[in-house]
Amino acid sequence: MSALIFTRSGGRASMLRAGRKLRSHSLYWWVLTGGLLSAGYVVLQAGTVTTLGVAMFSLAAICGLNVGSLLVDKWGVRRGMGVPPTPRRIVAVVISLVAGLLAVIPYLGMQSAPTIYFLLVVAAGIGAAIQFAMTARVGEASGDSTVAAWVLFVVASVFLLGLAISQGSFASEGASRLLSAVAASPWLLIGGLLGSAVVIVNAFVVQRTGVLVFSLSLIAGQLIAALIIDQISGVLTNAPFVVGACALMIFATAISAGGRGTAPRPNEESPFSTSSDTPLA
């Protein structure tokens, strides 16, 4: 990704543009720290999935992400882009929560865990919604979605690398196991490319649709992909639940997208941008 930015004159110009906005304080410095929220989500996932179970983790994350998206959209990525939580959008969130519950029904009760773990993941989901807005703001300020993705990955990588070193995860034995796993299954590296693509799309799309529509679309896509992967691998034991969840999530996305822009607040400030900013044309 660094090569994609710094080998292009447009990429270098976008970095300089973001730097100028930082110096003029029209872009808040803390908006660049969205990678910390992203890294925190990954760390929390690794630390709680074994206790909560994948189903409960997914349900908690969906709850936090969608409710957080509704709140973040109220502020907007920048001044003049806020959309209040209209009944239509609230209904879309409720439907999405029902869809998430439907997808994990077969797995509920398989593991028990303290409520605090569930609440922590809900908080992480809300943090993910805020991170989506922060990444979109960086993309808007720089004029290049790849710059926003680069900033997020640099911040997240530095944090995770420091955490791994502090915990001894990069000891010779751990590093050798990691290299062996990659050597045996090099396709695992594709995950990084897919993650980069998601962040670039995030930076580009959220400026135009808002966080809620993006979040619902992302979850719908994940459910559809899960259904396809299960079909290919022959794991179809809970296909009816997943199909129903996909249908509900797509319906929720359509409802939220249809309500986008019906009640903007052109004079309302956004915590993600300064008052000197003007709305997007």
Indicate whether 274 belongs to any domain: no
Return the ∠ at Cα 255 (arms to 220 and 229), rounded to 5°.
10
Q: Residue 112's pLDDT band (boundaries 50, 70, 90)? A: low
Encode pLDDT of 74-98 as tens digits: 877 665 567 778 888 899 899 988 8
Indicate whether 227 belongs to any domain: yes
Q: How high does pLDDT run on average in the chain?
A: 80
Count Cβ atoms below 10 Å from residue 171 Cβ, excluding itself.
Answer: 12
| pLDDT at 170 > cutoff 70 | no
Indicate whether 182 belongs to any domain: no
Dist. CA 133–CA 88, nearest whole Å: 21
Is 143:8 a contact under the CB 8 Å cutoff? no
Question: Sign (positive/negative) of CA torsion 7, 131, 56, 50?
Answer: positive
Is 47:116 a contact under the CB 8 Å cutoff? no
| pLDDT at 263 > cutoff 50 | no
| pLDDT at 126 > cutoff 90 | yes
Indicate whether 269 belongs to any domain: no
For residue 128, what pLDDT is reported?
A: 92
Distance set, CA 265 to CA 75, 119, 268, 270, 278 (Å): 9, 31, 6, 10, 13
Indicate whether 174 belongs to any domain: no
Number of domains the chain is built from:
1
Question: Sign (positive/negative) of CA torsion 119, 270, 203, 20?
Answer: negative
- CB-facing half-sphere around the CA of 42: CA atoms within 13 A: 15
For residue 259, what pLDDT is reported?
A: 54
Q: What is the mean pLDDT of residues 202-206?
A: 88
Dist. CA 246–CA 225, nearest whole Å: 10
For residue 267, what pLDDT is reported?
A: 44
Q: Residue 124's pLDDT band (boundaries 50, 70, 90)? A: very high
Indicate whether 278 belongs to any domain: no
| pLDDT at 171 > cutoff 90 | no
For residue 152, what pLDDT is reported?
A: 92
Name residues whose C-beta falls within 8 Å of residue 228's C-beta, 6 or more positions apart in sequence: none
Higher pLDDT, 144 or 84: 144
Indicate whether 40 belongs to any domain: yes
Indicate whether 268 belongs to any domain: no
Q: What is the mean pLDDT of residues 251-268?
A: 65
Q: What is the mean pLDDT of residues 243-264?
A: 75
pTM score of the predicted model: 0.80
Domain that holds residue 238: 2-164+187-258
- Residue ranges of alpha helices (H) inside 143-189 are 145-166, 172-184
Is 82:242 a contact under the CB 8 Å cutoff? no
Encode pLDDT of 55-74 as tens digits: 778 888 888 998 899 888 88
